[in-house]
Structure 1
Amino acid sequence: MGGANRVDELGKAHGAKNAPHCGKLTAHPEGMGSLLKPTEGTGLRATIFNLSNTIMGGGILGLPHAIARLGLVAGISLLIATAGLCCITVWMLLVAMEETRQKSYAEVANVLHGPRAGILVDVTIALYNFGTLVSYVMIIGDVVPSFLGFLNAPEALQDRTLVLVLSALVLFPLSSMPSMGALRHASLVCILMIACLSLALVLLGTKTIDVSKDSYGPVELWSDDLLGFATQLPVLIFAYTCNMNVPIFYGELRAQTYESFDSKFNSKREKMMFAMYFSSLLCCVEYLLVAVFGYLAFRRHTAPDILTNLHEERFAAAPYVKVGYSLVMFTSYPVMCFSCVASLHRLFWEFPSMFGDDDHAYKRFEACSPAVQHDSPLSPCVFATPYRWPGENHLKEPAEFVKKDQAGISPPAPTLWERLLLVLALVSSSILLAAVLPDLSVVFGLTGGFCGGLVTFCFPAMFYIRVASKKGERLILGTWAGHLLFIFGLLAGVGSSAIVALEAINRSSSS
């Protein structure tokens, strides 16, 4: 029997309500690093869209500078190689999800390595979210003052620090909304503006619109700047980080139980990986366009934020490209902040379990996980038997990696004042850091290096090592692959972030 040319038994149990339908996008209420989630089971095309939207973000603005520091050949090679390595770690994460029958990143960590590992995952993702908030504010500070200058606004309003402070008057009210439904179309706006930026940089890089100067220097194919290599590798990792959202999208893909045509895939994991390959290819092509043509346009003068290279004297559309991208930041910030508030509230409730015994920690961890209905697409029943996909016989076996459930009391929802205080703390601290940090590459380096290295490489590698040590006979890669990616994550991610921090300290002390 091929693929999925049937309404499977699980689909029959649920009936027609699980027939193909269009799911809407809403802000993810659970935090866990997710910006948006589909509310119902989704198919292949929707999964590709969601993955592409998750991968592509503000990190794209730092890629031309990364190429300038790495050299054209090395930069292109590393950009492609990083995409491939991220696909491998997503596969490892999916394997771990299936072996543990868990639906979220932190719960996989909890089952395989204990409750404190689950809390560590949540803390890391919360830090990643916060670093992303800081990068959004820095982008606003980079582009809004110049646009106000273009409009001949008072000179005081063109001051970067003042603009950052005044931005709180917009960011705080938007981020304080109890629901992010009003911003559900922000992702479409973001994709449109990235397309506009790409078109602009292609025109500049090909000299269709010539903005070059003699001082920009020649195109460098190679660079012997080892410090540049160490500091820019985390920027590439930051650009592809999406693993915290993969469990959500995989759960949604598995929740689609009705298939009206023969599937060319033997398993849902294979289908999910096709979506990941396709999404990574799309994002890699988009990244290469922005990175290569952005570098060709400005070469050695390429800024850490490519938007700051755009000036209306040589490129008339520059102010409009900048203000368009700043609008994306203003609308994306509240969605990320909404997710970060939910994560922080849950983490404050979890934190005391770090100092208790394992049973107490697991009880609190289970209680803090969002409650779901038994037949919810995001509940563990998406891995329930019977299975009809040819490549999923292993899911009929009892799960070997399990934890005994213990009853717990769900954490109360944050009150209005608690939510407002958390939003105020996030907005004020992100603005403060954006004002004092030297440039956007520092944020990309620290966030992409430390948090991205852990989330994208180290954690999935740890999960896979544990699973492969017991189930290696059914996996195409042995534990050695997990060890190699774990070491790579520590060196390329966590280790490089330390170099980025030292470079930023030296730069600030010398200035």
Structure 2
Amino acid sequence: MARSYGVAPVDRDDTVADNDNAPLLGAGAPRAEEEDGHATIVSCVGNLANTIMGTGMLTFPLVMASGGILPGVVTCITSGCIGALGLWMLSRCATRTPYRKSSFFAVSKITFPSAAVFFDAAIAIKCFVSYLIIIKGLMPAVVRSFYHVFTAPDVNPPWWAVSGHVWIMVFLAFLAPLCFLHRLDSLRHTSYVALFSVLYLVCIVIFCYWSRPEGTIEPGPIYLIHFDKSFISTFPVQVFAYTCAQNLFPLYNELKSNTQPRMNVVIFTSIFSATATYEIIALFGYLTFGSKVGPNIIAMYPSTTIFIAIGQFAIVVMVMFSYPLQVHPCRGCLDKVIGGTQKAVAPSSETQSLNEDEEVEAEALDPHGSHGKMSKTKHVALTSAIVGFGFAIAYFVDDLQLILSFVGSTGSTTISFILPGLFYFKLFRNDPGHSRALLGAALALALYGALIFVFCLTFNIMKVIDSHRV
């Protein structure tokens, strides 16, 4: 009997019960219907786009200033295309895993089995710390902005309102329940709010170009093409601005009728939306301030109006609702690092059928592909550990920039470029008639990732050495 892998049969009932409405610590096996996908294209685009777009977008005007308008536009589009290629290759690799059981771990077990746990460890470490530290640093500035707008200049906010530690505790109470949700699709509404915040930031940048707020500094020189010494140091901003591969497999598992054309819509709509956002912010921000633009475009505007103050709070909202999207893949990866040892079952080619007496039934997997559905006790324990550890670091540590620069650059490079290229080449190289151009593109993507990996690692090491010389 033939087995369907990865792609949901079109005649299958996609109506499911919602696991997120069930008690976290309840008994009873999940019903079979819950294995089917239920997420819409819109919700998947919302979650993937929210995963992509972070505070790095605020640096894009500075990136454009380092090379000029034309290089800035071209490198942004190029980085988006490369990111889309990596996501597309991962979506193709997902079809080789059992039905709705795709994950980095599942694909690794059928390509590089001995390294599967290490890949997941790299993803888990990367995912979840920086967002909380950003919130801790942003909220006091947001409070001061609102006080500046609504009170007299000599009135200062109370100490607790400008304490990052207080705000960490506030956001812990608010974000923790979201982190315990089982599905990415359950986070779609918070993703919509985050994307609305992004839209508000875009409106600020456009409006302040056409109607400069009082007190805005005069722009510096504006160039069509002008490379300066900061171009090399700002280039990684664009390279890593499209990192979202950690959530590609969960979205594939949850998407209703997860055919390749529907996945293509999710991937390319998300990448296009992010690219358009980056280009608009970069162009209008650069045209407003020219070579004087700083690393945070919103901080360049005088916080004397409610319009700008709300924009600063919009950054917090965007970062805040991105955090649960990072906990989700981190939890799945830790599940495999701790106990995932069994091999995923998959056919050797996309069109291969298995005889009934040769079939090996795949074990029930969670949306991340862990072997044996994660028990609710384990789900609660892992989530509690991730959230507790992350908030503890954010509470006691003010700056992890150096460590995060190493972890982020190497981890993002691995999951966005190196692994998609290697996975795709390994899984499809023996398929009769498969495009040689695509196989070559897969190797080129992996090589590109390796070069970026070495470049970023070297650059960060040099920064450490230079800092010790001062």
Aligned residue for 1:346?
335
Q: Is the 8 A contact 1:231 1:445 kept in 2?
A: no
Contact 1:64 1:291 in 2 (8 A): yes
Structure 1 residue 104 displacement after superposition: 1.5
* Superposed counterparts of 1:412-423, under 5 Å: 413-414=377-378, 420-423=384-387
CA contact (8 A) 1:111 1:403 kept: no
* Change over 3 Å in CA distance of 1:176–1:51 after alignment to 2: closer
Q: Which residue of 2 aligns with 1:77?
A: 74
The answer for the alignment partner of 1:429 in structure 2 is 393
Kindly provide the CA deviation profile for residues 363-382 of structure 1, in whole angstroms up to 9, marking residues without a partner as x: 3x77xxxxxxxxxxxxx9xx
Cα deviation 1:80-130 (Å, max 9, x = unaligned): 001111121122212222234451222111211114234423432441333
**Closer/same/farther in 2, CA of residues 64 and 345 from structure 1, 3 Å limit:** same
Counterpart in the other structure of 2:234: 232
Partner of 1:164: 164
Note the C-alpha offset of 1:303: 2.5
What residue number does 2:221 align with? 218
Distance 1:249 1:427, change over 3 A: same
Partners of 2:379 and 2:265 lie apart in 1 by 42
Aligned equivalent of 1:110: 109
Q: In the alignment, is the contact (CA less than 8 A) between 2:145 and 2:309 conserved in 1? A: yes
Aligned to 2:410: 450
Cα drift, residue 288 of structure 1: 0.8
Is 1:197 equivalent to 2:201 in the alignment?
A: yes
CA deviations on 1:125-170 (whole Å, 9 max, x unpaired) are 44133344444444446544544555556467499xx632222221
Following superposition, the deviation at residue 448 of structure 1 comes to 5.0
Residue in 2 that maps onto 1:371: none
Partners of 1:466 and 1:188 in 2: CA distance: 37
Q: 2:297 matched to 1:306?
A: yes
Counterpart of 2:310 (choices 274, 297, 320) is: 320
Which secondary structure state, in structure 1, belongs to the residue aligned with residue 448 of structure 2?
helix
Deviations 1:320-351 (A, max 9, x none): 21123323434443x2464366247526624x
Q: CA deviation at 1:458?
A: 0.6
Matches of 2:286 and 2:8, distance apart in 1? 54
d(CA) in 2 for partners of 1:272, 1:416: 30
Distance 1:197 1:10, change over 3 A: closer
Gaps of 5+ in 1: 1-7, 30-37, 258-267, 351-360, 367-379, 385-392
Give the whole-Å Cα distance in 1 for the aligned partners of 2:199 and 2:71. 25
Normalised by the length of structure 2, the TM-score is 0.76
Query: Partner amino acid for 1:306?
Result: I
Partners in 2 of 1:292 and 1:111 — Cα distance?
Answer: 44
Aligned to 1:185: 189
The 3 A distance-change label for structure 1 pair 443 and 219 is farther
SS of residue paired to 1:362: coil
Q: 3-state SS of the aligned residue for 1:62?
A: helix
AA at the equivalent of 1:197: L
Q: Which stretch shifts more, 106-115 or 228-237? A: 228-237
Task: Provide closer, same or farther for how the CA distance between residues 337 and 467 of structure 1 changes in structure 2, counting only shifts above 3 A.
Answer: closer
1:362 aligns with one of 321, 324, 341: 341
- Unpaired runs of at least 5, structure 2: 1-6, 25-34, 365-370
Cα displacement string for residues 253-306 of structure 1 (whole angstroms, at most 9, x for unaligned residues): 4x428xxxxxxxxxx223322332233222211111112112222233322222
* Alignment partner, residue 93 of structure 1: 90
Shift of 1:173: 2.5
Change (3 A) 1:288 1:92: same
Identity %: 18
Q: What is aligned with 1:355?
A: none
Inter-partner Cα distance in structure 1 for 2:333 and 2:261: 34
**CA-based RMSD:** 4.2
Q: What is the match of residue 395 of structure 1?
A: 351
The alpha-carbon deviation at position 505 of structure 1 amounts to 6.3
Q: Assess if the C-alpha contact under 8 Å between 1:52 and 1:279 holds in 2.
A: yes
CA–CA distance in 1 between the matches of 2:387 and 2:17?
32
Residue aligning to 2:174: 174
CA contact (8 A) 1:24 1:39 kept: no
- Partner residue of 1:256? 257
Q: Structure 1 140/42 Cα, relative in aligned 2: closer, same or farther at 3 Å? A: same
Counterpart of 2:387, as a letter, is V
Deviation at 1:189, TM superposition (A): 1.5
Distance 2:448 2:350 in 1: 30
For the 8 Å contact 2:88–2:264, the answer to whether it is kept is yes
Instruction: Name the counterpart of 2:263.
Output: 272
Contact 2:63 2:72 in 1 (8 A): yes
CA contact (8 A) 2:243 2:416 kept: yes
Cα offset, 1:478, TM superposition: 4.6
Other-structure match for 2:249: 247
Give the C-alpha shift of residue 218 in structure 1. Answer: 0.8
Instruction: Report the Cα offset of residue 243 of structure 1.
Output: 1.8
Distance 2:136 2:123 in 1: 20
**What SS does the corresponding residue of 2:128 show, helix, strand or coil?**
helix
Structure 2 equivalent of residue 55 of structure 1: 52
